[in-house]
Structure 1
């Protein structure tokens, strides 16, 4: 009596693989077998409590956010104030040297005020990037430094030619002997009057270049970084 026909094993006694086993493509969205490489452009499988990554155009993933830049406004203002004091004193000596004895007037150089403003703006430009409050403070300090330098230079000229300590030929009285800084603070009204008399309209335009230099430097650094 013949036996019923049975399916023979497929080579070496192994049964044929069933669909959906290892190495077979899985439907989209179904978990892949452990250790199987992911298809190109597909997001990695999530798990272990990590939030799902959001796919970006062209199959990429978002880059980590850049580290924030630190801003130290108080330190920037202190640096601007220190620069204004130093620049104002140096400009005083320069302004004194620009006095013409024969003409009795000062030679005006426009770019000096611009350089003063730029020097004062260095601190806010690098220490308070993007802070317009600090930029405006630097502009005001730059203008103040330029005016202080011219007043100090005028006071030194007055100390050299007026407050020399000699006898006044017109009154016969002995004049006071004062240094430039003493003339500036003790005779501030006289210093201001002489400074105004020796100034021309162009000088006020040159002084306006100091805040322009400070703002220009700050915005220039802001665009580059």
Structure 2
């Protein structure tokens, strides 16, 4: 034979269920806790303030990232900084470094896309500016090397003899020089994709 079912127990304190919930307590709990007091449960939702107008709290809007003008300006600024760094590195070690050319393109693309979004105009500007940054960086490196060899100032070589510097660049350019120029825009697209991801 089966045993008769036991009647459900009343919540602690003998109070009546609140809002049809048999486990809700309207009186102090077993350890003297008042309703709404911290229970030690980090996931308990206590003390929350209702959202304005009774709705759910809303997230702040994301920052505007579809600004073409700011993206192009950011690409230009990053290209100027990267060109100087690339040129100083090449002039200091007296050779070009492929990883540095890739880094120039990646930096320009990443910064431009982070500020301006993934607009095709921003991507195109970052590719062009990264190519120009590596090109100017090569000139800065050559100017540093020639200023040491000729014992003249860097600015004199770079600004006063820019035509001669271009002739030297044309004579000294090889496959690797052009490869570094091509790698920068490719890396700019990679940096832009990383910024969007």
Give the 4+ runs in structure 1 shifted more than 6 A.
none
Structure 1 residues without counterparts, runs of 5 or longer: 1-66, 100-106, 165-176
One of 77, 92, 109 as aligned partner of 2:72: 77
Aligned mates of 1:123, 1:91 — CA distance in 2: 17
More helix by percentage = 2
Aligned length, in residue pairs = 138
Aligned mates of 1:191, 1:127 — CA distance in 2: 35
One of 141, 166, 171 as aligned partner of 1:197: 171
Whether 2:103 is the aligned partner of 1:129: answer no
Shift of 1:68: 7.3
TM-score by length of 2: 0.64
TM-score by length of 1: 0.56
Aligned mates of 1:158, 1:220 — CA distance in 2: 38
Whether 2:83 is the aligned partner of 1:95: answer no
What secondary structure sits across from 2:118 in the alignment? coil
Q: How does 1:32-181 map to 2 (within 5 A)?
A: 70=64, 71-99=66-94, 107-162=95-150, 164=151, 177=152, 179-181=153-155
Aligned mates of 2:68, 2:135 — CA distance in 1: 25
Structure 2 residues without counterparts, runs of 5 or longer: 1-60
Q: CA RMSD in A?
A: 2.1
Aligned mates of 1:221, 1:114 — CA distance in 2: 16
Aligned mates of 1:148, 1:203 — CA distance in 2: 12
